[in-house]
Structure 1
Amino acid sequence: MFLFPARCFFLLLLFNFTNTGRVLWKIKERLRDIQLQETEKHLLTGTVTGRHLLQHAQEGKIHQQLDHFNRQDGNTFPQRFFVNEAYWQRPDGPVFLYIGGEGPISVFDVVAGHHVDIAEKHGALLLALEHRFYGNSINPDGLKTENLVYLSSQQALVDLAMFHQYISQRFSLSHKNTWISFGGSYAGALSAWYRGKFPHLVYGAVASSAPVRAELDFSAYNSIVGSSLMNEEVGGSVKCLAEVREAFAALEAAVMSANISQVAADFGCCQIPDNDEDKIELIQNLADIFMGTVQYNEEGVLISIEELCDVMTNQGVNMTAYNRLVKLAQFYFSSSKDPCLDVSHKKTVKHLMNTSISSGRMSERQWIYQTCTEFGFYQTCEDAACPFSGMLTLQADTELCPVLFGISQHSLPRRIAFTNSYYGEDNPHTHRVLYVNGGVDPWKALSVMEDRTECGDESQLIFIKDTAHCADMMHKRNTDRSSLRNARKEIERHVASWLKTAAQEKMEKRTF
C-alpha cells in the first residue's frame, strides 16, 4: 500500500439521502457541484495556506476484507482514503477522521470544512475514508445483487477499525494520539456508532444531522418540511404552506383527470404519464423541489425557502396555486441540463438495475439497498400533515426492494427492528458523542434530540433552530446566520474539551 499526491478534484458528497424521485438526487448533485466550486475558489484564489493544504493532501488505497464476519472468506475490495499532514504536530498530535457516507469522498474532505478549521487549531492529522461500495471503493462486480450483501453499516464500522490499525502502523501512531471522528447525515450516524462500538479506538465523535433511529415509514420527514415552509424565521409563512397544499391537491386532481396531456405539457414532461406509476413519478419529482429546498435551505442549492414561498404566494393575475407550482417548476428546470422532465417509472427502474460501476457518480442503487436492508427512511405522504399528495405511499416506495433486490416488503419491519436493537435507536447511551441538528432539517426527527446526560455531565446536544441539514459542517461564509456561527464555536469548545481531557487522562496514567 502506498500514498500518492491527489491529482484530481472529486465532487463533494457531504450528505445524501434517497427518495424514488430523480429530482432530489439532482439537487444533491447540484449541491456537490456548488460546494466543489466554492471550495476550489476558496483554496486556489484565496490564501497561500489553501494551496499549501492541497499540496499536502494525498490519496491512498487499502484493501479491506469483503466480509469481516467470515474469516474463511479472503476476498477483498479497494477502499479509498485521503490524508493531509499539513497541520499535524508530530508525533503525538490528534487524529481527525472524516467518515464518508453514501457517496464518493473528495480530496476536499481533508482540506476544507469545519473539521479542517478545528484541525488547524489543534495540530491534527486529517483523514477521510470512503464508505465501502461507494465512489471508487468497490469491486467491478460490486453492484450485483449477490455482492451487495456485503454492503452494510456493520461492515463499514469494521472498515473504520481496520483503517485505524493501518494508519496507526503507517504513521507510527500510539495511545498518545487522540482520535476524533466527524460525519454528517448517514455518516453522522456512523460517527456516533463508531464511538459506541469501538470506544477504545475513537475518543470522541461529532455526529451532524445523524439519523440514528431507523424508521420504515418516515412520514415525519414531510411533516417537518411542511412546518418549515411556514416558519417565518427562515422566510416561510402559513400562507405559503396553504398554497403548497392547494397546489398539490390541484395537481393530484389534474393527473387523475382525462386531461393528463395538458399536465404533461405544463411541467415539460418527456412523456405523458398515462399510468399510475408514472403519475406518482411526476408528483414525487415536483415534491422533491420542496423537499430539497427545505433540506438544503440557504446552502446555495439554487433556491431558499424564502424565495420558494415568494413564488408560491405571488398574487399575480389569474395565478392559481397550480399555476404557481408550474411557474416554480419551470424556474427550477430552466437551470437543468435535461431537455425535459423524465417521469417514466420504467426508466427509473432500468437505471437502478444497472450494475455497471462505470457511471462514476451512481449511488442510488447502493443506498436504496441499504434502505431495504437496514434503515427504511421512506419519506411517505399518507399522513395528514404532509403538504403534498397522498399518492406518495409506503407501498409505492418499498416496491423497489423486491423489484431490484428480491427483498420482500414484509421483511422490512424485521430488518429495521434489528438495526434499532443493534445501535440503540435515539437512546444509544454513548459517551462523548456530540449530536448537532438544525431546526429546519427534516432528519432531526430521527436524531438524538433529548438531553440524557447525567447530572454534572456536559450536554452532548447542539440545536441550531434556523439552519438545515449538516450546515455546521460547511466552511465559514459571511452569509452564515449568527446561530450557525455560535454553534460552530460550541462544537470547537467540545472538541477542545475532549482533547484536554484525553491529555489529562494520559498524564494520570503516566504517574501510576
Structure 2
Amino acid sequence: MEPLVVAMLLLLLARGHSALGLGGRNMWLIKEKVLQAREQRARDHVRGGQRWSSAALGSAQHLEPQEEFFPQPLDHFNRQNNATYKQRYWVNTKLWEPQGGPVFLYIGGEGALTTYSVLAGEHVDLARKYRALLVAVEHRYYGASINPDGLNHRNLHFLSSQQALADLAMMHAFISHRYNLSKLNKWICFGGSYPGSLSAWFRLKFPHLVHAAVASSAPVRAQLDFTAYNKVVSRSLSNPVVGGSPECRATVGAAFGAVDEMLARGESAALERDFRSCRPLDGSGDYGQLAGNLADVVMGIVQYNHELGIDATIAHLCRLMANTRLGAPYRRLVALNANYMERMSLNCTDNSYQRALEELRSEVVKPYGVGERQWYYQTCAEFGYYQTCEDEGCPLSRWLTLRSEVDVCAQVFGISASSVQGAVDFTNDYYGADRPKASRIIFVNGDIDPWHALSVLRNQSRSELALVINGTAHCANMNPPETGDPLSLQHARQIIEEQIGDWLSRRPLYPL
C-alpha cells in the first residue's frame, strides 16, 4: 500500500472514524438480480416442457403448486412463549411415488422463495428420477415467513439458524402426518449457500429425521475476518479456465490502488463524476461506501460468473480490463462500472453511508427479494463472514476493513465486536465448522466461488464427501441444466445423482 494511503487511513482511525463505514450496497442489488434471473430460467425451463410429461404433471391448471402457510412457534426453546409466525412452503406431489418414494426438502435462506422452488432445479430433476415428493420451505423472517413486527429489536433475536432447524423438524412432522409417510419415505435435503449449511446441519443435528443431505456452496465454517474471500477472487481473476490471467488480476489491483490514492487525497469530485455517485461524498463513511460498491462489481462477477449473462463474466471483465484503448487501469475500472450500471439499469450509485445505515435500521417488512436487515443481523449474531481486503494478496480496495463491518453491528444492532467474535466461536463449536463429523452428506463447491473457502473440500469419511467442480461459481450445480454447461459441471451432477441413488438404495441393517 502506498505510504500516502496508509497515512490517511491512520489519520481517519485516530479521529475515531471507521475507514470504511459499511460494505458496498451493489452486492445486494446483484443478489436481487441473480434471484430474478434464476426464477426466469426456472420459469423458462418449466414452460419449455423439458422432460415434463402430462402424465407426471397432470393438467396445465394444476402445474404450479400453491403457496401454503404453517404456524410455527416463534421460540422453539421456550415453551412458555406462545407466540407464533406463519412459515410459507410449497409441496409438489406430481412426481411422487407414495409407496416408498423419498421426500426431497429444498431449504430456503436469506431471500424469498417462489413456487418454482418445487418446479425446477437440480433437486427437481433428481426427484423426477427417484420419484420423490418435493417440499420447499422458506426460512423464518425472510420472504412472507415473518410477522409484521418481526424486524424490531424485540423480535429479531428469534432469527437464528438453530430456530430455523427446529422449524424444519416441525415441518418434517407436519408433512409426514399430512402425507401419511413412513420410514420407507426417506428424506434428503438440499440447499445452496447459507441454506447449504442448513442442509448439512439438519442432517448433522437431526439424523433420525434426515437420511442424507446435499450441501452446495455451503460456508459451514463461520469466520469473523473472511480474508480468504478476496484471495479466491484474486485466484479466480488469474484463472485461464474461466478467462482470467495474472495480467487481469494485476490490472484490477492497479485500478483499485489508484482509487485508494484518490480517496486518500480527498479527490472526491473526480470520483463522484467518474463513478456517477448519486450525491456528493461526505466523509470517510461515504468514501468507504464508494470503495465497497466498486469492489462489489468485481466480487459479484466472480461469485456469480455467467449467472447474469455474457457481459457479467470473469472473461468479459478481463477483456475489458485488458483494453488499453480505454486508458490507464483506473479508466478501465470506470468503464467496468459503467457497464455494470447499464446492466443493472442504474442512473447513479448510492454511496451514502448514512442512507445505508438507515436502510439496515428500517423495520418495514418486505415479503420479497433478499432480507438485508435480517441477513446482516445474522452475520453479527452468528457467522461474521466479513469480506475484508487488508492483506497484500487482495486485489481490491484497502478500505474494506473488518473494523468497519463490526462497527455496523454495534451501530445498528447494539452488538459489540467482542460479542460478534464470541458468536462466531459458538457457531463453530456448535456445528463443528468444516469438520462436522456427520454422515451421508455431499458438499458441492465450485473452485472459483469465493465461498468455497469456508466449506468442506476433502472427504471426511466414506459417507461425508466433498466434490469440487473445476471452473464453476456459486451454487452452479443447483440450476437447471443448460446447453453449454461445462463438462466438469455435467460430470458433477452425474456424481451427485449416483450418490443419492446409492444412499436411497441401501437397505437398513435391521427391519424397520
TM-score past 0.5 threshold: yes
The counterpart of 1:73, out of the listed 81, 95, 98, is 81
Task: Look up the equivalent residue of 2:219 and give its one-letter code.
Answer: P
In structure 2, the residue corresponding to 1:233 is in which secondary structure? helix
Aligned residue in 2 for 1:203: 211
Distance in 1 (alpha carbons) for counterparts of 2:202 and 2:266:
54
Deviation at 1:362, TM superposition (A): 5.0
In structure 2, the residue corresponding to 1:77 is in which secondary structure? strand
RMSD: 1.6
Distance in 1 (alpha carbons) for counterparts of 2:370 and 2:151:
10
Aligned residue in 1 for 2:11: none
Does the alignment pair 1:41 with 2:72?
Answer: no
Q: 1:43 to 1:330 in 2, by over 3 A?
A: same
Distance in 2 (alpha carbons) for counterparts of 1:261 and 1:26:
25
Aligned residue in 2 for 1:82: 90
Q: 1:173 to 1:359 in 2, by over 3 A?
A: closer
The counterpart of 1:422, out of the listed 422, 430, 444, is 430
Distance in 1 (alpha carbons) for counterparts of 2:471 and 2:94:
34
Deviation at 1:274, TM superposition (A): 3.2
Distance in 2 (alpha carbons) for counterparts of 1:272 and 1:369:
29
Aligned residue in 2 for 1:13: none
In structure 2, the residue corresponding to 1:81 is in which secondary structure? strand
The counterpart of 2:407, out of the listed 399, 414, 434, is 399
Q: 1:206 to 1:475 in 2, by over 3 A?
A: same
Does the alignment pair 1:29 with 2:38?
Answer: no
Task: Look up the equivalent residue of 2:303 and give its one-letter code.
Answer: Q
Aligned residues: 485
Task: Look up the equivalent residue of 2:140 and give its one-letter code.
Answer: R
Return the TM-score normalized by structure 1: 0.92
Q: Which moved more, 1:37-46 or 1:69-78?
A: 37-46
Q: Which moved more, 1:326-335 or 1:488-497?
A: 326-335
Distance in 2 (alpha carbons) for counterparts of 1:473 and 1:152:
24
1:262-277 → structure 2 map (5 Å cutoff): 262-277=270-285
CA contact (8 A) 1:56 1:86 kept: no
In structure 1, the residue corresponding to 2:91 is in which secondary structure? strand
1:251-330 → structure 2 map (5 Å cutoff): 251-301=259-309, 302-316=311-325, 319-330=327-338
Distance in 2 (alpha carbons) for counterparts of 1:491 and 1:112:
17
Aligned residue in 2 for 1:173: 181
Q: 1:50 to 1:105 in 2, by over 3 A?
A: farther
Identical residues among aligned pairs (%): 46
Distance in 2 (alpha carbons) for counterparts of 1:271 and 1:50:
54
Instruction: Name stretches of at least 5 consecutive residues in structure 1 with no aligned partner.
Output: 1-18
Does the alignment pair 1:138 with 2:116?
Answer: no
Distance in 1 (alpha carbons) for counterparts of 2:422 and 2:51:
54
Instruction: Name stretches of at least 5 consecutive residues in structure 2 with no aligned partner.
Output: 1-21
Task: Look up the equivalent residue of 2:88 and give its one-letter code.
Answer: R
Distance in 1 (alpha carbons) for counterparts of 2:325 and 2:347:
28
In structure 1, the residue corresponding to 2:191 is in which secondary structure? strand
The counterpart of 1:496, out of the listed 494, 501, 505, is 501
Deviation at 1:37, TM superposition (A): 1.8
The Cα offsets for residues 281-330 of structure 1, whole Å up to 9 and x where unpaired, read as 0010000011001101122355100000001111216x100000001111
Distance in 2 (alpha carbons) for counterparts of 1:56 and 1:93:
21
Does the alignment pair 1:474 with 2:482?
Answer: no
The counterpart of 1:509, out of the listed 500, 508, 511, is 511
In structure 2, the residue corresponding to 1:445 is in which secondary structure? helix
Deviation at 1:47, TM superposition (A): 4.9
Aligned residue in 1 for 2:238: 230
Distance in 2 (alpha carbons) for counterparts of 1:154 and 1:359:
22
Q: Which moved more, 1:352-361 or 1:20-29?
A: 352-361
CA contact (8 A) 1:381 1:389 kept: yes
The counterpart of 1:411, out of the listed 389, 411, 419, is 419
Aligned residue in 2 for 1:6: none
Aligned residue in 2 for 1:354: 362
Distance in 2 (alpha carbons) for counterparts of 1:50 and 1:100:
27
1:322-401 → structure 2 map (5 Å cutoff): 322-358=330-366, 360-401=368-409
Deviation at 1:272, TM superposition (A): 1.9
Distance in 1 (alpha carbons) for counterparts of 2:215 and 2:367:
30
